[in-house]
Homo-oligomer: A and B are copies of this chain.
Amino acid sequence: MSNEPIAIESVLATFTDLWSPRILTRINDYDVRVAKVAGEFVWHTHDDTDEFFLVLDGELRIGVRDEHGERHVTLPRGSVFVVPRGIEHKPSSVDGATIMVVEPTGTPSTGDRHDALPEHITTTTGRRVA
């Protein structure tokens, strides 16, 4: 990993594919990933880790299913949200968004359990920045 500052925009300029996080940098055994998203992801659950979202641009919606039933939260640009471990959730964005995610290195994007994957979604643990 680079030991120089990284301009997030310069990394975002290197790709256009959706729901395919790039690993910006690492903190101990955690990844800081950035992704471009639009449309719907898939319901999934990380059994052993929380997942942190920061919206860098656009607006993200996250469906959440917990003991109170199903709800969703809306994250405008400049807001953060943590999905607790074990909570089924589904990110989506009608008009597209750019997000930063922090989670342990190796965490699969579709969790430990997920619904059937639609064609536009591939499970990944993040790609290294070229």
Contact = CB atoms under 8 A, between A and B. Distances in A.
Given A78-B9, A80-B32, A26 B50 contact: yes
Interface residues of A, number: 35
A28 B50 contact: yes
A2 to B, nearest CB: 9
A8 to B, nearest CB: 5
Interface string A43-62: 00000011110100000000
Interface in A3-26: 3-9, 24-26
Contact of A25 (B6, B26, B80, B104): B80
A62 to B, nearest CB: 8
Given A28-B49, A49-B28, A5 B78 contact: no
Contacts of A3: 82, 84
22 contacts: A3-B82, A4-B81, A6-B79, A6-B80, A6-B81, A7-B79, A8-B78, A8-B79, A8-B80, A25-B52, A25-B82, A26-B50, A26-B82, A27-B30, A27-B49, A27-B50, A27-B52, A27-B102, A28-B104, A32-B52, A32-B80, A54-B100
